[in-house]
């Protein structure tokens, strides 16, 4: 995993944390406890700042904004679903998980396609078209 992907994953994780804290801020159980609502609100703002910090870093080090955007969105989507299940006891059906899995599969295919195109451009730009000289992991499949 490249550094750009690490930053994108951190951005997505921070985005899901911001959503979590935002939802906690508005829970009726905390309506009377102002300090908890303020702490959750502050954590939400902090997490949103982290989203943009990591996302901008991911964009800065990447060749294309597509992979940074896709990885960040996929991480956010998956972690938000897990938070909903574990923390809020949200009920999801097999149909929902199938749809989420198909979305994530599509995002993975987009990233793989982009990685292949970048590899091909790198090989073509270097003037080397010797496919057998590439390391096994770098060969297009």
pLDDT higher than threshold 80 for residue 68: yes
Q: Which residue has the higher pLDDT, 92 or 127?
A: 92
Closest to 7 measured CA to CA, from 45, 50, 47, 64:
50
The domain segmentation of the chain, as residue ranges, is 3-127
Q: What pTM did the predictor assign?
A: 0.74
Residue 67 neighbours by CB under 8 Å, 6+ apart = 4, 5, 8, 110, 111, 114, 115
Structure confidence at residue 126 as a pLDDT band (50, 70, 90): low
């Amino acid at each position: 995993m490249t550094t750009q992907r690490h930053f994108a994953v951190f951005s997505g994780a921070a985005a899901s944390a911001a959503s979590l804290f935002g939802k906690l801020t508005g829970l009726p159980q905390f309506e009377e406890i102002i300090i908890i609502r303020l702490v959750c609100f502050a954590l939400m703002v902090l997490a949103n700042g982290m989203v943009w910090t990591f996302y901008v870093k991911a964009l800065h080090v990447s060749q294309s904004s597509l992979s940074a955007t896709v990885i960040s969105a996929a991480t956010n989507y998956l972690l938000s679903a897990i938070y909903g299940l574990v923390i809020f006891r949200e009920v999801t059906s097999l149909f929902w998980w199938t749809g989420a899995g198909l979305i994530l599969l599509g995002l993975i295919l987009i990233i793989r396609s982009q990685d292949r195109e970048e590899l091909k451009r790198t090989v073509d730009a270097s003037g080397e078209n010797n496919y057998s000289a590439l390391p096994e992991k770098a060969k297009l499949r």
